[in-house]
Amino acid sequence: MAEETKFLTYKGFPLVRNGNTIYYGNMSDEMVANINIQHASEQNGLMVADRLMVVLMRTAKDIDPQDMVVKTSNRGSLFEALDVANIWLSRAE
């Protein structure tokens, strides 16, 4: 029997981080958000992302990679990036 993997979620969508890339959304859905941390600075002893690129992309395997990107946006905090990604994914459902 396969074990079900539990992911951290934000507003009902799973979050998975791999290095400086955060995937937000279900990979089985039509769209997923890719959040790329482009710069981080130290604040009170912690590294805090202060420049992020949000990309809404299609997950279908049979489309051209150039057609995968639907929208992009640059944000100044992780909260802003997740907020934009959540709005995009909610509208795509």
Does residue 13 form part of some domain? yes
- Asked if 62 and 41 touch (Cβ cutoff 8 Å), the reply is no
By residue range, what is the domain housing residue 72?
Answer: 8-92
Does residue 69 form part of some domain? yes
Does residue 3 form part of some domain? no
Does residue 19 form part of some domain? yes
* Number of domains within the chain: 1
**Three-state secondary structure string covering the chain:** CCCCCCCEEECCEEEEEECCEEEECCCCCCEEEEEEEEEEEEECCEEEEEEEEEEEEECCCCCCHHHCEEEEEEECCHHHHHHHHHHHHHHHC
Query: Can you read off the two tokens belonging to residue 82?
Result: 């997740």
Does residue 2 form part of some domain? no
Does residue 1 form part of some domain? no
Does residue 27 form part of some domain? yes
Instruction: Give the pLDDT of residue 69.
Output: 93
Read off the pLDDT band of 92 (50, 70, 90). Answer: confident
This prediction has a pTM of: 0.86
Does residue 51 form part of some domain? yes
Instruction: Give the pLDDT of residue 2.
Output: 54
